[in-house]
């Protein structure tokens, strides 16, 4: 292997005792390919097997913690104990390839399609639609908020029983946790909303509940991560300054990692800070070595990864690139970095082991993947 890339293949130890064999993570990506009953499909398992050999850790697609939290068609469920065998099937397959398996847990909130939610009852922090033409959600009452917090803990327990190595709390991409943090979607006047500090109450309560469950139920090392989006385009909306306060609070929670959600690794803040540094650099500075940060965003080549690691970020995540080239890690290890594919082979669905629902979504969305015009 070219010594230039040595940093990518150093081990890393998390706070709760888990070690990764390298610094490359498979990012969580929805694949629309689970069975209609919410169980993991064979096609989905094979898709993960194809991508789990080289990376140190796989973060699964999101799984809903309640029946009314499903955000996508073809999403596997984690909201009831009957799903534990299904969850175990995926964890076992990933771990058999040598990667650690982390279950991403979430609630879609107002982003849930009405046809996927019982009685079409879309809920959120407040009765504010995501878009002008979108459905107006119903504001959760206090008991429902508490029930959802408990549900995050219960799905964490199921993840432990199913053999995962950790969970990632999905507080990014506009879903329910972010809806509580955002001044656009949270207009509450109770303890769950109002000031920036109160808007952090719901995410922090979920973190505390997940930690409690892990401390109670996990016999082996079991890590906890948290994913967040740094900013919202809307005004009012989450600013970089808001997010840095969130990062500061999360870093004090003794989590195993924070995972920033970015389309471009080196993107700059929209507003909220007077600083020339990138979003990731600001987050790294605020985390201040209290918690490892995963960086992500359009990392395609080995050189892209090397440059990303030079920022000081301890872990990088690959999303679309691992769909395009499942052998990305191995090619660098075997000194074949020049062979890395960076555009999707439109004749390669079978070779790449991409389930049909995901493949159809990709090829019908020009510009989403390089090579799809």
CATH number of domain containing 185? 3.20.20.70
Q: What is the pLDDT of residue 131?
A: 83
373 lies in some domain: no
Inter-helix orientation angle 240-251/279-287, to 10°:
30
Question: How many independent structural domains does the chain possess?
Answer: 1
- pLDDT given at position 343: 96
Please indicate, yes or no, if residue 371 is contained in any of the structural domains.
Answer: no
Residue 370 lies inside a defined structural domain of this protein: no
Share of residues in the chain with pLDDT > 70 (%): 100
| 237 assigned to some structural domain | yes
Whether 322 is in a domain gets the answer yes
To the nearest 10 degrees (0 to 180), the angle between helices 84-96 and 42-51 is 30
Q: pLDDT exceeding 90 applies to what percent of the chain?
A: 95
116 lies in some domain? yes
Answer yes or no: is 288 within a domain: yes
Domain range spanning residue 184? 3-363
Q: Which residues of the chain have pLDDT under 70?
A: none
Q: pLDDT tens, 137-176? A: 999 999 999 999 999 999 999 999 999 999 999 999 999 9
Q: Would 67 be classed as within a structural domain?
A: yes
């Amino acid at each position: 292997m070219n010594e230039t890339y040595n940093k990518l293949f150093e081990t890393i130890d998390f706070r709760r005792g888990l070690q990764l064999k390298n610094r490359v993570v498979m990012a969580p990506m929805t694949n629309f390919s689970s069975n209609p009953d919410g169980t993991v499909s064979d096609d989905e398992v094979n898709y993960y097997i194809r991508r789990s050999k080289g990376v140190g850790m796989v973060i699964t697609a999101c799984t809903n913690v309640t029946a009314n939290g499903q955000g996508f068609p073809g999403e596997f469920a984690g909201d009831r104990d009957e799903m534990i065998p299904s969850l175990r099937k995926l964890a076992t397959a990933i771990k058999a390839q040598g990667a650690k398996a982390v279950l991403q847990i979430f609630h879609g909130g107002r982003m849930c399609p009405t046809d996927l939610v019982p009685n079409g009852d879309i809920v959120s922090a407040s009765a504010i639609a995501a878009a002008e033409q979108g459905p107006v959600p119903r504001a959760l009452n206090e008991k429902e908020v508490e029930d959802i917090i408990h549900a995050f803990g219960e799905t964490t327990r199921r993840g432990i029983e199913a053999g995962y190595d950790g969970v990632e709390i999905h507080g990014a991409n506009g879903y329910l946790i972010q809806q509580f943090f955002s001044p656009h979607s949270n207009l509450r006047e109770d303890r769950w909303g109002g000031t920036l500090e109160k808007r952090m109450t719901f995410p922090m309560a979920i973190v505390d509940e997940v930690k409690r469950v892990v401390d109670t139920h996990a016999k082996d090392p079991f890590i906890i991560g948290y994913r967040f989006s740094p900013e919202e385009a809307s005004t009012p909306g989450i600013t970089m300054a808001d997010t840095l306060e969130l990062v500061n609070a999360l870093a004090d929670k003794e989590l195993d990692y924070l995972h920033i959600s970015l389309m471009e690794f080196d993107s700059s803040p929209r507003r909220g800070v007077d600083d020339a540094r990138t979003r990731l650099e600001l987050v790294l500075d605020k985390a201040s070595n209290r918690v490892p940060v995963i960086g992500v965003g359009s990392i395609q080549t080995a050189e892209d990864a090397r440059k990303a690691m030079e920022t000081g970020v301890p872990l990088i995540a690959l999303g679309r690139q691992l769909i395009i080239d499942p052998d990305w890690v191995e090619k660098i290890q075997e000194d074949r970095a020049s062979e890395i594919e960076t555009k999707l082979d439109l004749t390669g669905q079978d070779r790449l082991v991409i389930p049909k629902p995901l493949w159809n979504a990709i090829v019908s969305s020009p510009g989403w993947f390089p090579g799809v015009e």
